[in-house]
Every structure is written in C-alpha cells, then in structure tokens.
Amino acid sequence: MSAERSGTSNAAAWALSILAVPVLYLLSVPPLDVYARRGHIGLPLPSWLHNYATFYIWCYENTPLKKPLHGYAAWCWDHMPSLF
C-alpha cells in the first residue's frame, strides 16, 4: 500500500507543478513590464522582455483570460512602487 500512496503523491506533485509553472509565469509578466516601462521612460523596452512576454501576449489576445490578465496588469501598474 505504501508504494501505491507514493505513486499517488508523486502524481499529485507533478500535477501541481504542471499547473503552477504557467500560473507563475502569467503572474510574473506584468510586474516585469511595469518595472521595465518605468525604468525605460522614453526608451524602447528591452528585447528580452518582449521575447519573455510572447506567450503572455498570446494568452491575452486569444483566450478568455483577457479580462483577468488585464485586471491584474492594471493592479500591478497602480500598486507597484517605482524603483527609479
């Protein structure tokens, strides 16, 4: 029975990881964008940020996540302190 339980816990850990990684990625893009825009006023955004945010932009434009992603990005813009 212990082998069966460890297999179940391993499956749960993998399932959690598979769900957590995309969620953490989607939550990381708006703060990076806010800091980059506030630090590069009048300058183009770094190319690495555009490359990093490509999947986020796709999710924003092509999935039903547009409204929650927009709300979270607006919240980040309003509540994140300026570093510069």
User: Which pLDDT score is estimated for 12?
Assistant: 87
pTM, whole model, 2 decimals? 0.77
Each residue's pLDDT tens digit, 22-79: 999 999 999 999 988 887 777 888 899 999 999 999 999 999 999 999 999 999 999 9
Per domain, the residue ranges of the chain are 22-84
Q: In a 10 Å sphere around its CB, with 0-12 CB exposed, 13-18 middle and 19+ buried, how is residue 31 labelled?
A: middle
